[in-house]
Amino acid sequence: MKIENNGINPLNTQRPDASGRVEKKNDAKATQSVRSSQDTVQMSEDARLLAKARTALGNSEDANSERVAQLKKQIENGDYTVQVSELARKLAAKIFQQ
């Protein structure tokens, strides 16, 4: 059997839907608006404080490694004692300095 399309009875009776073209245009506009917008970042207050602390730590002088080693040895041997009055004085000075 041979089927001929002589134009009298078209194989597809539905016309193309023009709404597909409109949707594509809307999608293109949405894509362009997304591309043109800029990303933004906001840091929390905690993150800002942490960044400041890291910067300050990076700018500070390195600890005296000999003194640190000496203190570690004293702690391990049990020879290190905390002078409570000196510690309290230094803490109070830092607290009330602000």
- The token duo for 31 is 């894509």
Q: Is residue 78 part of a domain?
A: yes
Express each pLDDT in 23-46 by its tens digit. Answer: 555 566 656 655 667 888 888 999
Range of the domain at 85: 64-98
Distance of CA 9 to the CA centre of its chain: 63
Return the pLDDT at 57.
78
Q: Is the pLDDT of residue 63 over 60?
A: yes
Contacts of 74 (CB under 8 A, 6+ apart): 80
Does residue 72 belong to any structural domain of this protein? yes
Residue 31 lies in a domain: no
Whether 74 shows a pLDDT value over 60: the answer reads yes
Number of domains in the chain: 1
Q: Which of 88, 70, 90 is nearest to 80 (CA)?
A: 70
For residue 45, being part of any structural domain is answered with: no
- % of residues, the chain, pLDDT over 90: 26
Residue 5 maps to a domain: no
pTM: predicted TM-score of the whole model, two decimal places: 0.30
